[in-house]
Structure 1
């Protein structure tokens, strides 16, 4: 049967954005959560917890669906170039390469990971600012696309390409002004308009530099400027956002083509930023901005005048309001995003007399490529409750937000299922917390069946940005990743050991002569 989580109560939809028809690797069978054809409770027992699990089936399904959706709207070739930073497991990269996908990479390490597979170098986009001379030289040697971010990067690329007697293929990452994008950005708990969030973000070349930079690149003998690139990330889960962004990008592209004396792009890269199907971004504590900041603090401070008993009674009523939750409605489908993005872009380019015939359209999905292909399994360690000064409960698990750091930075509220009680009704509300010494709040006010130590919790939509951002706080070894395909399961990234955590540490030889727990190295140095 299909999967629906306990607190999956969607908000109303706007913009006439209908629901998706998204195939799902997850299902519930006889009260158990399955991924592909495998029982997640058995996976937890076999491989241990915490554990990241990826579905190869879903990953292949996603890349094929993106390619088909955008190819249906664009008259030229389409390249799907998933963001490697979203999931750096080499097995998942092998799957994408096997599907003919390119890659969006940011760092030298990411580039090496992608190039360890037989990927088409011409479909690899090297993004990011501050690229070193050595890094750029390596990019030119490998024949990958260099996405220019910095105003001085053109001269540096020309120099390293000339040294190799090669032509560097580049694109300019543009940063259009978007005053039409006035709704609040999902990247912040503060109510900030998207256009302001885009302007203060570090990436992209400001419009004032683009004309001169393009002219220099076109004139450079060892540079072939093949296209334009734009990427603004997951600011808003709507078709409105993509229509607004593509309209401004298309207008800017037309202005640049005219300024560059008829130069025509061979490639147009519109980046990524589409939500994953159970989009968790910025869904944790959505009401806290009002209640806990400018107006909320005076209110809470004023309640103290009621005395401790009435104050705590008021808090007992307020806390459920803060921790209760309704998820946003299911985002539009990949096909809807493709139709809106491509049709808007084509309209603006045609109005500016920019030919799109034969031009390659490139997309760089990250969270929407990997997100629903992955889950994170954790085991309940203990359940703690209090009744005074107001009722509250915690479910302590054997994972941590430090293994889900991408979600912590983005204030994600992950959908969650008790994997061995997937068909049980809601019986308790508690914070799902991790076992580091931090507050380690994974999901506030989770609605759960009655759980006990040993139960397995599945956090959904964790295939993107979670494992790749995990850290070792409290000297906790990072979990393994298992890839499943049908009824097969394989470890594709082994769990760390405590020895791995300390493997990079070096102790200076001078410290080895300090003997005893109470030795005073300063005194010993003075005596010597």
Structure 2
């Protein structure tokens, strides 16, 4: 990957751009998930970082900070890299679903829908967003380990596929769909596959809150045979997130096909297999995830080989990429404020955001890379710790970052913040959530407005007895 910013004092932030492909369609070029910066990133003649034809420092002056900057070209390219590789390597029907938990909003849902993708949603809120963005119900799949009755009723009304996670949910659906026909459901189970990722985002091992245990699936199939109102379309399994290994995904395809064939033999109308997602991205130059194209090829070949061995027709193949679609298409721009030198220990520089807009470092110990966007060629000759502004000692965005000497007012950009940053944002310390802009061909459009102080009070209610009588 790109040269490490800590490799020497002569490094500059320009080196983060060195690995970006001149032609994203070049088969030998890195795929979108393998870059630290969006595809359109470059340094302009003012020595300022530019994304989507927009000067990042100018965007901060116009829209404020912290600011999420989403590159439309990178997002569309990632969608197409998935779609075109499936076309090339899978001989049956397929559908790519965007895992919208990575970042759900109307603009992103509209873009992925226009690229032919469907949506993986995990709540009524994400489902409502997909519907309002114009996503057709046949391309929406509702997940979750504890869907409420209201969420299930809404999903039935919308007509999307419900990915059944447990016995309670199956029995509840049997009751809710009593007077209906052909409510589409898919079964999620834990395949018992371990992979190397953070324990909080590892979901395929047996000891997981998600999905039916494989030992219970025979009983589940029998229950579905006795529930004609529910139409079982297939199986789903997901082994985790931010995975750099290909072998676990290949192993998963064999297990899915085994259960798919068993459901066919039980007389269920299965026609789909969903392999989930989980492909990782680069958050640092030390990380080397497989290309989107490599992951898709492994999955396609795995399903096709397993079906060939079982002598069954190819199912409709579904996958649910989230992070690998959206993660590296976005950066977050902050404004540098105070600094503190602890002699002999470290230097802190503080920015105007932190754990309320990026909870991943304090939650998962996630690493990121940063650059001073308004001085891209200045040598990175300081080692600093980038601190957030929240009243929490652990509010550290990046420890021991190699950066140029910074000044208050500088624009600091943290890379690869498109996945699980805004979607996990909070109002901790009563800090309003940031704005987000979509950039493309020199145009920037707000897709999420910055919250105001009044927004923070919008849901507050003050009991009458607490209101002091007027003097």
Larger mean CA deviation between 128-137 and 95-104 belongs to 128-137
Q: 1:68 matched to which residue of 2?
A: 84
Gaps of 5+ in 2: 9-27, 33-37
Q: 1:25–1:373: 8 Å Cα contact kept in structure 2?
A: no
Residue 203 of structure 1 corresponds to 210
Secondary structure of 1:403's aligned partner = coil
Residue 237 in structure 1 maps to residue 240 in structure 2: no
What does residue 337 of structure 2 align with?
381
Deviation at 1:3, TM superposition (A): 7.6
1:496-511 correspondence runs (5 A) = 496-511=451-466
Q: TM-score by structure 1 length?
A: 0.79
Change (3 A) 1:446 1:142: same
Matches of 1:236 and 1:3 in 2, distance apart?
A: 20
Task: Write the distance in 1 (CA, Å) between the matches of 2:239 and 2:221.
Answer: 21
Are residues 1:392 and 2:346 paired?
yes
Q: CA deviation at 1:353?
A: 3.0
Query: Per the alignment, in what secondary structure is the counterpart of residue 120 of structure 2?
Result: strand
Per the alignment, residue 488 of structure 1 pairs with 443
How far did residue 514 of structure 1 move?
Answer: 6.8
Of 42, 55, 60, which aligns to 1:27? 42
The count of aligned residue pairs is 446
Counterpart residue number, 1:91: 107
SS in structure 1 at match of 2:438: strand
The CA deviation at 1:88 is 1.6
Q: TM-score of the superposition, structure 2-length normalised?
A: 0.88
User: Deviation per CA, 1:153-200, whole angstroms, max 9, x where unpaired?
Assistant: 23322222223x33200110121123xx4x6x32149xx9x79x7222
Per-residue CA deviation, residues 319-369 of structure 1 (Å, 9 max, x unaligned), is xxxxxxxx434311111011112212322233233321xx21111111111
Instruction: Tell me the SS of whatever aligns to 2:98.
Output: coil
Q: Which of these residues, 366, 372, 379, is aligned with residue 328 of structure 2?
A: 372
Question: Would the aligned equivalents of 2:250 and 2:298 in 1 still touch at CA under 8 Å?
Answer: yes
Matched, 1:353 2:308: no
Cα offset for 1:86? 1.0
State the secondary structure of the residue aligned to 1:402.
coil
Corresponding position of 2:11: none
Aligned with 2:409 (options 454, 463, 469): 454
> Which 5+ residue runs of structure 1 have no aligned equivalent?
10-17, 281-326, 517-528
CA distance in 2: counterparts of 1:412 and 1:230, whole angstroms: 25
Task: Give the match's secondary structure for 1:377.
Answer: strand
Q: Give the corresponding residue for 1:268.
A: 273
- Superposed, which structure 2 residues align to 1:328-343 within 5 Å? 328-343=286-301
Say if 2:197 is the partner of 1:186. Answer: yes
Post-superposition shift, 1:257?
4.3
Matched-pair contact (CA < 8 Å) for 2:93–2:316 = yes
Q: Does 1:53 align with 2:69?
A: yes
Separation in 1 of the partners of 2:435 and 2:207?
A: 37
Structure 2 residue 233 is matched with structure 1 residue 226 = yes
The 2-side partners of 1:35 and 1:170 are apart by 42
Q: Kindly indicate whether the alpha-carbon contact (under 8 Å) linking 2:244 and 2:288 is maintained by their aligned counterparts in 1.
A: no
- Counterpart pick for 1:150 among 133, 142, 166: 166
1:166 and 1:141 map into 2 onto residues whose CA distance is: 12
Structure 1 residues 353 and 490, CA, compared in 2 at 3 Å: closer, same or farther? same
CA deviation profile, 1:388-431 (whole Å, cap 9, x unmatched): xx231011111112211145323221121111122222210010
The alignment yields a C-alpha RMSD, in angstroms, of 2.5
Q: How does 1:61-140 map to 2 (within 5 A)?
A: 61-140=77-156
